[in-house]
């Protein structure tokens, strides 16, 4: 049943018709509930409130798989503006970007040029930029680009997905770079020749990656709503005597709000992934596909006052 639910939402995420309808008519429904706003400026009050509650954030201008150099340039300018506003407003926030929104599928030189401009600004502002991981066919190139920039920039991090077979080896290859890593289970529909098809195997690999990262002294973000993974991380860090400033928990805006605040009260760092923009539909469907419990969390968020 869980596999059917996941496949159903992943199927819906690819519907251009539903995506178009969502952008035209649905943004008002989810703004302030699942996304912070349709632009970054309107999202600032929500970010400030989260910061006031002791929660850090990472913001993401929604949109991916860009096939126009002009749009990729516009996305780059948006990222630079956002970094400058984060600095000006003194927000406790990182920035997340997807390389396909910056030209990854168009031209290698273009995405390198755009990412260089973003990271130049990030270094000036002292703000971390996380290169999000996308689907498996783009994984290798994403990691190559991350490694390239990590040689000269400190304010850059990336993501590993536990459902990919390759991620354990990727973790070992990234170790010399001492990266800040966001560890996730994974949200794209992948074939069984590249990704674990069974949830138990994904969970086991996720735990293994968390343990290996912590033992190797890496700063990691455990990005999960799964209570079992949260408790596993708590118990493991106590067992290994890992200080609370070597890791953080990350959760999505609009989901598990009570849990986020409880973790902060317990002395853990929690970072909320705050998306904004009109292109929210695909993001939302993949979040529902990740874990059935997210469906309940999401609709509670939408329906709350």
Structure tokens at 151: 């040689």
| Per-residue pLDDT, 207 | 98
What does pLDDT average to in each consecutive run of 10 residues of the chain (305 residues)? 50 48 50 78 96 98 87 97 98 97 96 98 98 96 98 98 97 96 91 94 98 97 96 98 97 93 98 86 63 49 47
| Per-residue pLDDT, 137 | 96
Which has the closest alpha carbon to 180: 242, 122, 222?
222
* Tally of CB atoms within 10 A around 97: 25
Domain regions of the chain by residue span: 2-303
CA count, 13 A, side-chain hemisphere, 45:
5
Query: Residues with catalytic annotation?
Result: 132, 182
| Per-residue pLDDT, 18 | 44
- Which pairing describes strands 56-61 and 270-276: parallel, antiparallel, or unpaired? parallel
Pick the CATH number of 2-303 from 3.60.10.10, 3.20.20.220, 3.40.1080.10, 3.40.50.1100: 3.20.20.220
Report CA dihedral (120, 122, 125, 128) to the nearest 10 degrees: -150
Alpha-carbon distance of 87 to 83, in angstroms, equals 6
| Per-residue pLDDT, 34 | 78
Alpha-carbon distance of 228 to 208, in angstroms, equals 14
| Per-residue pLDDT, 104 | 97
Alpha-carbon distance of 87 to 81, in angstroms, equals 10
| Per-residue pLDDT, 119 | 98
Which has the closest alpha carbon to 273: 293, 259, 255, 252?
252
């Amino acid at each position: 049943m869980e596999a059917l639910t996941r496949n159903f939402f992943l199927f819906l995420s690819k519907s251009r018709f539903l995506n178009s309808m969502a952008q035209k008519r649905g943004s008002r429904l989810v703004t302030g509930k699942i996304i912070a706003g349709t632009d970054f400026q309107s999202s600032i009050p929500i970010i400030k409130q989260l910061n006031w509650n002791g929660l850090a954030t990472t913001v993401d201008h929604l949109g991916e798989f860009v096939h126009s150099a002009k749009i990729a340039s516009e996305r780059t300018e948006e990222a630079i503006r956002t970094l400058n506003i984060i600095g000006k407003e003194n927000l406790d926030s990182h920035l997340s970007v997807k390389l396909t929104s910056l030209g990854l599928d168009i031209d290698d030189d273009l995405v390198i040029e755009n990412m260089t401009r973003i990271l130049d600004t990030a270094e000036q502002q002292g703000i971390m930029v996380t290169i999000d991981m996308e689907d498996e066919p783009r994984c290798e190139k994403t990691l190559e680009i991350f490694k390239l920039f990590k040689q000269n920039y400190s304010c850059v991090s990336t993501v590993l997905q536990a459902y990919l077979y390759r991620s354990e080896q990727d973790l070992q290859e990234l170790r010399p770079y001492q990266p800040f890593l966001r560890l996730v289970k994974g949200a794209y529909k992948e074939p069984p020749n590249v990704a674990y098809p069974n949830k138990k195997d994904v969970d086991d690999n996720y735990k293994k990656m968390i343990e290996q990262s912590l033992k190797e002294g890496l700063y990691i973000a455990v990005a999960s709503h799964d209570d079992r993974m949260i408790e596993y991380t708590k118990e493991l860090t106590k067992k290994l005597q890992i200080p609370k400033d070597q890791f953080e928990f990350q959760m999505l805006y609009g989901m598990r709000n009570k849990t986020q605040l409880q973790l902060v009260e317990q002395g853990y760092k929690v970072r909320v992934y705050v998306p904004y923009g009109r292109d929210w539909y695909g993001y939302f469907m993949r979040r529902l596909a990740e874990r059935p419990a997210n469906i309940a969390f999401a609709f509670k968020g939408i329906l709350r006052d």
